[in-house]
């Protein structure tokens, strides 16, 4: 019998995860199924425990359950504890629920796959919501010179920066700061849009001096056409990358946690790109 996995969300019909994991399973010869389950908003824990009782081995957790996933876990990875949210659940052989967050690893792997150097870079992250909190630890582990968080609600950026400062990583001591958009001063080598503004076709108010001459702009969102943020950055000479690769890389890390096999992500990303 195949091992069962799923993604929990509400709504969840739009999720690309079943497609990605089906491609991974086929590529790696893994006997598993992966379905999308719309859990009731008020009882995520019940949905997870029912899934496990029916033979479920693990799950991804997406909006709005990432914090619920955190609460349902018996054992959290260190990065999940820091993120305060999880996207991967594992039903352990000991009956306990293990949880991790792979979004940040996915982002860093995708940046690396595009040849972006984070070591020594001046990084700017736009937004201070759940997605941003989840990627800060892996970004800081890559050893940037500085990391600034800018958010529409400035206090959230300042408080998030305080949670992650100071960061001593080997020889590095990364400066982590936060502000609103009005206090934003460039230039930055890598600018990562982690706001949901792109979803509504909106752009945070960004200064013309934002990007360094050979700067990179990354939008965690992805779509068939470049987002408003990527269009803005491209018009100012930046290299632009959307979040499709992050989506595939975070899925690959979840797949590895469950199956102990690393899929080749490039062909899967290409397939998804064609299907956008
Ligand atoms: P949250 O709702 O937790 O946070 C939203 C953030 O966006 C807040 O910082 C909010 O600012 C800001 N924001 C919203 N609208 C605007 C606007 N019009 N102008 C400026 N700032 C705005 O969302 P998440 O953190 O969960 O998700 C953020 C994005 O990341 C989404 O687009 C999501 O699709 C993407 N994502 C992509 C992943 C991938 O694998 N590619 C994985 C996870 C997320 P304020 O605090 O002031 O309200």
Structure tokens at 99: 């949880």
pLDDT beyond 70 at 127: yes
Distance linking the first and last C-alpha atoms of the chain: 32
Q: Report pTM.
A: 0.95
| ipTM value | 0.97
Domain boundaries along the sequence of the chain = 3-101+246-275, 104-242
Is 220 annotated as belonging to a binding site? yes
Please give the CATH number for the structural domain made up of 104-242. Answer: 3.40.50.720
Residue with the nearest Cα to atom 34 of ligand 1?
Answer: 221
Q: Do the annotations mark residue 249 as ligand-binding?
A: no
**Among 63, 129, 222, which is best to mutate for testing ligand 1, by the most ligand atoms less than 8 A from CB?**
129
Asked whether 109 lines ligand 1 (CB < 6 A), one says no
Residue 208 annotated as binding site: no
Fold of 3-101+246-275: Rossmann fold (3.40.50)
Please confirm, yes or no, whether 66 is among the known catalytic residues.
Answer: yes
- What pLDDT digit, counting tens, does each position of 81-99 carry? 999 999 999 999 999 999 9
Identified catalytic residue from 66, 109, 259, 269? 66
- Mean pLDDT in residue range 3-8: 98
Nearest-CA residue for ligand 1 atom 22 is 197
3-101+246-275 with 104-242: one CATH topology?
yes
* Cβ of 221 below 6 Å from ligand 1: yes
Strands 146-150, 3-9: pairing is unpaired
Q: Based on the number of CB atoms within 10 Å of its own CB, is 160 exposed (0-12), middle (13-18) or buried (19 or more)?
A: buried
What is the residue-averaged pLDDT of the chain? 95
């Amino acid at each position: 019998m195949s091992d069962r996995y799923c993604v929990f969300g509400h709504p969840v019909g739009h999720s690309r995860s079943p497609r990605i994991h089906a491609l991974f399973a086929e590529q790696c010869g893994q006997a598993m199924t992966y379905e999308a389950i719309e859990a009731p908003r008020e009882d995520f824990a019940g949905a997870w425990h029912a899934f496990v009782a029916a033979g479920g081995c693990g799950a991804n957790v997406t909006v709005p359950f990432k914090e619920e996933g955190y609460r349902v876990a018996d054992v959290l990875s260190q990065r999940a504890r820091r993120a305060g949210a999880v996207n991967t659940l594992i039903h352990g052989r000991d009956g306990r629920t293990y949880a991790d967050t792979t979004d940040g690893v996915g982002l860093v792997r995708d940046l690396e796959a595009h040849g972006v150097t984070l070591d020594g870079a001046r990084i700017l992250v736009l937004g201070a919501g759940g997605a941003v909190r989840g990627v800060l630890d892996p970004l800081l582990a890559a050893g940037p010179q500085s990391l600034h968080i800018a958010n529409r609600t400035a206090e959230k950026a300042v408080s998030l920066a305080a949670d992650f400062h100071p960061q001593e990583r080997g020889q590095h001591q990364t400066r982590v700061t936060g502000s609103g958009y009005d206090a934003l001063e460039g230039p930055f080598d890598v600018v990562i849009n982690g706001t949901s503004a792109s979803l509504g076709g909106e752009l945070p108010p960004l200064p013309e001096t934002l990007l360094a001459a050979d700067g990179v702009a990354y939008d965690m969102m992805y779509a068939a056409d470049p987002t408003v943020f990527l269009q803005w950055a491209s018009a100012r000479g930046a290299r632009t990358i959307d979040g499709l690769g992050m989506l595939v890389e975070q899925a690959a890390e979840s797949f590895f946690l469950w199956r102990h096999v690393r899929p080749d992500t490039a062909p899967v990303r290409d397939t998804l790109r064609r299907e956008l």
